[in-house]
Structure 1
Amino acid sequence: MRHAARWASRFAAVIALTLVASTAVACGDDDGGSDGGPVTLRFTWWGNADRAELTEKAIDLFEARYTNIKVETSFSEFNAYFQKLATDIAGGGAPDVLQMDYRYVREYADRNVLREFGTAGAKVDNSKFAPSLLKGGTVGGKLYSVPMGQNTQTFTYDPAAWQAAGAAPPKDGWTWADLEASATKVSQTTANKVRGVVDFGPIEDWFEVWLRQQGKSLYTDDGKIGYTSGDVQKYWELADKLRKSGAATQADVTSKLDGSQANDPVTQKTASSGFGYDSGLTPKTWEIMGREMKISPFPSDSSNLGQYAKPSMLISIAAKSEHPKEAAQLIDFLLNDAEAGKVLGTSRGMPVNSDIRASVGSGLTGPPKVAFEFETAVLPKLKDAPPPPPKGAGAVKQAFQRVYEDVMFQRSAIPAAADKFMNEAKQALAG
């Protein structure tokens, strides 16, 4: 196996490292290719072992097709991925091809870490991609990342546990109060050994959906904060109420969230439900979780679901890559080749190539089929994704989780914590 070992630490220093990277990285002046000679590409991404296995199979197909190109790969879980990426970039060792997150595109593009597609032979056919998804990788009118898949937010729950507790399952129009009632029943039935829901307070992604349900947004079109300290306080009060009542996971369990499926309380069976993305449903998800789950839209107290169709993840070429042409060939193959699409399936969300999506969707089974059917059903209610967040948004996301931990462990009252977070968020965006 070509992948490196997973990295275990969190990436609290990622923004600082990226700031260093900005002085170390500049757009290269390479010749755009190797004229057919042997080339070695480095490709790195985040995900679990299930996604890695499928990715390796697709790369084997690529190497068989392009015999002059070899691909060295590595992967890790989400948090550790960006920590290592920032370190590699700061040291001048950026991979040629890197998986990119919607929230970090502008951050890395503005610091000249990413190459603009269409330059120096870095061309990928995106004619079968939805324009709304391409917007997620566009900064200043230039395309720096192309989507690898489409996904949306989900609520995942254990139907057997909910039925045993007499908890009402999610249904169209269910509310946050409905979630609280059902989660409370699960916790009470298990004497709090299994909590009804994972504490959603520390995750900015779920806060964004909650905001959108109220007609607000994380960021305005000009990159300003789109909410108030009062909004943060109200959201954290909702989460805090469920945790204190025992309906949501306790602080020492929630604090272990690191973006990995393995460490998720639902997988650990210390919680019966939680929030996520449908792209997380890979062929072995039920096996990893140890039981079959169901998914539904988020609860909402308004007619607005708050969810949107977003690039589940994107893929970019490093500005310093000496082989942009070959890097683009790899990306084009992974996204547009029918055989590769069959192998990758929905391991990164619904395929972005519309032809491959239709072909893949008809042959799915297990968790990927559940995800595909869910997204197809909910698609009419989904809104377009907002523009890529402004530079500094990555630091804001981390501050949101870190400051909420002070609330979880009762080190800070919610009003003070909300004000502290807002001050840090403003500083991060101004930096």
Structure 2
Amino acid sequence: MTASSVRRRLSAGAAAVAAGALLLSGCAAGEPAATFDPDAKVTLNFAFWGNDDRANRYNDLVAAFNEEHPNIKVNVSFTDYPSYWEKRATEAAGGGLPDVFQFSDSYLRQYAEPGYVLDLGKEKDYIDFSTFEDSLLGTGRLDGTQYSLPTGYSMWADFVNHDLIAKYDVEAPEGGTSPEEFDDWMAGFTEAAGGAVYGGTDYTQRIQGFELSLRAKGKNLYTEDGELGFSKAELREFWNSGAKLRDSVTVPQKKLEEISPKSGMGAQLTASEMSWSNFLGGYLADSGAKSISIIAPPTYKAGSKDLYQQGGLQIAISAKTKHPEASAVFLDYIVNSKEAGRIFGTTLGFPASSSKLAGTTLEGVDKQVADYIESVSDRVGEAPPVPVIGYGSLEQKFWDLGKEIGLGSVSVDDAVEQFFTEADVILQ
């Protein structure tokens, strides 16, 4: 979308919005409604979580955006994922969220129901929704209202550092094996490396690993009516399954704490790590590795539909922004522009909009991600229900407890009780 076409849409939209506002508010004809001047100087605050690679890409995107919209200044800030949501929670309570910010479907109910994020339909003159499949629009929609838009979608994946495999002369693992088979591969690598590097990280720390085990049984983390979809016994069994890994196979949690915010994969302390498929570019940048592949994660039941299109990385606008139209123009640029496709490729997920995909050259890293998504298509099932209120907090609590189990500061039994106590508080 060119700057001139944006201005034409903005002018027409502003007139319609102004007229509608006048009718709805019942204000007197002598009280002019506010209109949006697309050339007025505006400053927006934009926040996201990520690493230096993502920050560099966003800086490039803002520079490209300013070539078309030199009057809209964008102040950028970022931090790691846990700190990011702690800060957003404080801002939401105080009414000071950034104008535009990276969002997650995990927090959709938590931020939409109290009215913290803007109904994007109110700014439909400045955002193109037609470029998204309805299934992907649904990842940012609640009760028929569009509160956020996905930058892309990802699949849960297993990353393998082939530089380290070559260094220690270990055969690469196969994708889609059983957890037991993959655990054996990690143990073999750790032994071959003499403990200097580890086969992987303890994947039982991540709620997504637990989710795979549940989906293999036809269940989900939570139900349609907002309840947990699993029992204490199931969680206990899952965390206990990682005991051997924590004992001598995967990188010790203490070492991970020392290198934070880098991951074991990013610091070349592990030969494998499970995460979302869009992390490939970040892993390469953090680790400096020349070759990292993506393979299917272990499956708890062969033939199950345990994977799904995860459109969790989204962009939203604060409901209290003083510049909703300019914020919408910037949001549209992030999710829809060809420049966003060119700059980010698949690092924010495989492009969710057709217009962004049109700007993405699928080669190198981006081709790897595209090929991986295609390779696991037969494992893709229906997306889980819209996350319950507080799911983001529960996801983080799961990870925090997983780390504490790894440090030996809490037992599995106590961790299970703590998680369910937290869930009772949040879900009530």
TM-score range, shorter-chain basis? 0.7 to 0.9
- 1:423 equivalent in structure 2: 421
TM-superposed CA distance for 1:390, in Å, is 1.2
The equivalent position to 2:64 in structure 1, one of 50, 61, 64, is: 61
Deviations 1:114-164 (A, max 9, x none): 011111567421212121111111112211111111111110112343466
- 1:26 equivalent in structure 2: none
The structure where helix makes up a greater share of residues is 2
> Aligned pair 1:133/2:136, yes or no?
yes
- 1:401 equivalent in structure 2: 399
The answer to whether the 8 Å contact 1:158/1:272 transfers is yes
- 1:119 equivalent in structure 2: 122
Structure 2 CA distance for aligned equivalents of residues 349 and 76 of structure 1: 19
Deviations 1:228-261 (A, max 9, x none): 11111111011122111x1112231345686x4x
**Runs of at least 5 residues in structure 1 that lack an aligned partner in the other structure:** 1-29
The answer to whether the 8 Å contact 2:265/2:283 transfers is no
Deviations 1:375-399 (A, max 9, x none): 2322343224223311121221222
* Letter in structure 2 aligned against 1:429: L
Deviations 1:263-292 (A, max 9, x none): 10122222211111111122x642421322
**Runs of at least 5 residues in structure 2 that lack an aligned partner in the other structure:** 1-32
- 1:249 equivalent in structure 2: 251
Pick which of 88-97 and 270-279 moved more.
88-97
Q: Measured at CA, do residues 54 and 409 of structure 1 come closer, stay the same or move farther in structure 2, by a change above 3 Å?
A: closer
Q: Measured at CA, do residues 256 and 222 of structure 1 come closer, stay the same or move farther in structure 2, by a change above 3 Å?
A: farther
The answer to whether the 8 Å contact 1:310/1:384 transfers is no
Q: Measured at CA, do residues 257 and 147 of structure 1 come closer, stay the same or move farther in structure 2, by a change above 3 Å?
A: farther
Structure 2 CA distance for aligned equivalents of residues 41 and 277 of structure 1: 29
Correspondences of 1:98-117 after superposition (within 5 Å) = 98-117=101-120
Q: Measured at CA, do residues 352 and 250 of structure 1 come closer, stay the same or move farther in structure 2, by a change above 3 Å?
A: same
Q: Which secondary structure does the structure 1 equivalent of 2:368 belong to?
A: helix
What number of residue pairs does the alignment pair up? 394
Structure 2 CA distance for aligned equivalents of residues 206 and 390 of structure 1: 18
> Aligned pair 1:294/2:293, yes or no?
yes
Q: Which secondary structure does the structure 2 equivalent of 1:320 belong to?
A: coil
* Letter in structure 2 aligned against 1:272: A
- 2:54 equivalent in structure 1: 51
The equivalent position to 2:179 in structure 1, one of 173, 176, 181, is: 176
Structure 1 CA distance for aligned equivalents of residues 84 and 170 of structure 2: 37
Correspondences of 1:3-402 after superposition (within 5 Å) = 31=34, 33-34=36-37, 36-119=39-122, 123-162=126-165, 167-244=170-247, 246-255=248-257, 260=261, 263-282=262-281, 285-291=283-289, 292-302=291-301, 303-304=303-304, 306-357=306-357, 359-362=359-362, 364-365=363-364, 367-402=365-400
TM-superposed CA distance for 1:328, in Å, is 0.8
Q: Which secondary structure does the structure 1 equivalent of 2:274 belong to?
A: strand
Q: Measured at CA, do residues 392 and 285 of structure 1 come closer, stay the same or move farther in structure 2, by a change above 3 Å?
A: closer
Pick which of 37-46 and 219-228 moved more.
37-46
Q: Measured at CA, do residues 324 and 387 of structure 1 come closer, stay the same or move farther in structure 2, by a change above 3 Å?
A: farther
- 2:9 equivalent in structure 1: none
- 2:8 equivalent in structure 1: none
Structure 2 CA distance for aligned equivalents of residues 74 and 411 of structure 1: 33
Deviations 1:53-94 (A, max 9, x none): 222222222222123322121112212221222233334322
CA RMSD of aligned residues (A): 2.3
Q: Measured at CA, do residues 128 and 138 of structure 1 come closer, stay the same or move farther in structure 2, by a change above 3 Å?
A: same
Structure 1 CA distance for aligned equivalents of residues 423 and 258 of structure 2: 23
- The normalised TM-score by structure 1 is 0.84
Instruction: Flag the structure with larger Rg.
Output: 2
The answer to whether the 8 Å contact 1:32/1:121 transfers is no
* Letter in structure 2 aligned against 1:209: L
Pick which of 45-54 and 401-410 moved more.
401-410
